[in-house]
Amino acid sequence: MSKNNDFIYDEEEFRKAAKKSGKFFKKFGWIIIVVIVVAILAMNSTYQINEQEQAVLVTLGKPQSVTDSGLHFKIPFIQNVIKVDTTIHGFTMGYNTDANGYVLDTDESLMITSDYNFVNVDFFVEYKVTDPVKAVYNSQNPELILKNIAQGCIRSVVASYDVDSVLTTGKSEIQSNIKQLIVGKLEEQDIGIMLVNITIQDSEPPTAEVMEAFKAVETAKQGKETALNNANKYRNEQVPEAQAQADGIIKNAEAQKEQRINEATAQVSRFNAMYEEYVKNPTVTKLRMFYEAMEDVLPDLKVIIVGTDGVETVLPLDSFTGSSSTAE
């Protein structure tokens, strides 16, 4: 037994314990190593892909895409996994946002129009990854490439419109043309991302005075549109009413026309019937017509007979008129 200050130990017991430990590690050490290796391999043989993710599985330097979500297996130390977020991402162009809110970036927003005017236009660009392998290996920074493409396309399209269109009426058409141009450029670059949407956030002249002038123009245009809408509304109300009146007049005219035609047809039929009777016996028909005419004429007729002695006598015509006239 040895004694060294505060520590006392038995050399024989220490040798026995060391000998036992050596036998234990010789007997079970390889089992412990195998368990540790298996645990490490098991931990590195699976990976999880979420709903909004895709993965690039690299096998000895050869990549392939894994698009199905859930649990997947890989060969440890031989296969490597790179996960890619496939949700929609976005970035601003022409402005920045910070604690103070909206901050204009004139280096990106200031543009020239086809009529040689300057204008500040800012955009918001949305994109997402469509091919994870190309997004990882075809470019180092696909978002930066998209931003450079968008800047070129925006300036090209804006330069083809006048300042009035950029500030007021042509925004939707400009957005559509820019999007179409960017989509074509991305297909040429083939970097594994696609443009979801690009939106004009704001467009304004570079000076306050010009801005107020364009606001006045915009207000006038809105007033014009309101006046046109009111005029169209009035027209839509009055035209049907006038059309209804015209239809009524036409229907009345048609009814009168039919009435006149029917009356004329009836008179023709009556005349033809009379003519047929006249042909059969002209004398009788003439007498009947004469009597009928006399019945219409004689009630208002006075017969004056002038005698040889110059005395005028009005004959009573009671037999014709049925009145109680007396002679004078």
Residue at which a domain ends, from 206, 222, 246: 206
Are 187 and 134 part of one and the same domain? yes
Instruction: Give residues with Cβ within 8 angstroms of 248, minimum separation 6.
Output: none
Q: Residue 110 and residue 132: Cα distance in Å, rounded? A: 34
Cα separation, 11 vs 17, in Å, equals 10
Judge if 212 and 202 occupy the same domain.
no
**Per-residue pLDDT at 321:** 47
Residues 202 and 93 in one domain: yes
- Does some domain include residue 314? yes
171 and 237 together in one domain? no
* Nearby residues of 301 by Cβ (< 8 Å), 6 or more positions away: 317, 320
Whether residue 251 is found in the same domain as residue 230? yes
- In this structure, the answer to whether residues 145 and 170 fall within a common structural domain is yes
286 domain-assigned: no
Residue 157 lies in a domain: yes
User: Position 268: which residue type?
Assistant: V
Copy the structure tokens of residue 164: 């009035």
Do 270 and 309 fall into the same domain?
Answer: no
Residue 217 lies in a domain: yes
> Is position 261 within any domain?
yes
Residue 288 domain-assigned?
Answer: no
Say whether both 174 and 158 belong to one domain. yes
Q: Are residues 215 and 305 in the same domain?
A: no
Token pair belonging to 213: 């002038």
Domain that includes residue 216, residue range: 208-280
* In-domain check, residue 266: yes
- The rounded distance, in Å, linking the Cα atoms of 50 and 53 is 5
d(CA 28, CA 34): 10
Contact between 92 and 123 under an 8 Å Cβ cutoff? The reply is: yes
Q: What is the pLDDT of residue 129?
A: 92
The reply to whether 223 and 197 lie within a common domain is: no
One domain, residues 120 and 195? yes
DSSP bridge partners of 53: 85
Same domain, 199 and 156: yes
Residue 285 inside a domain? The answer is no
- Structure confidence at residue 31 (pLDDT): 65
- Residues 92-111 pLDDT 10s: 998 887 766 677 788 888 89
Q: What is the pTM of this model?
A: 0.53
d(CA 242, CA 263): 31
Say if CB 94 and CB 27 are below 8 A apart: no
pLDDT along the chain (328 residues), means of 10: 48 59 58 61 71 85 81 77 89 81 80 88 93 89 93 93 87 93 93 93 76 73 86 87 88 89 88 79 78 75 60 51 45
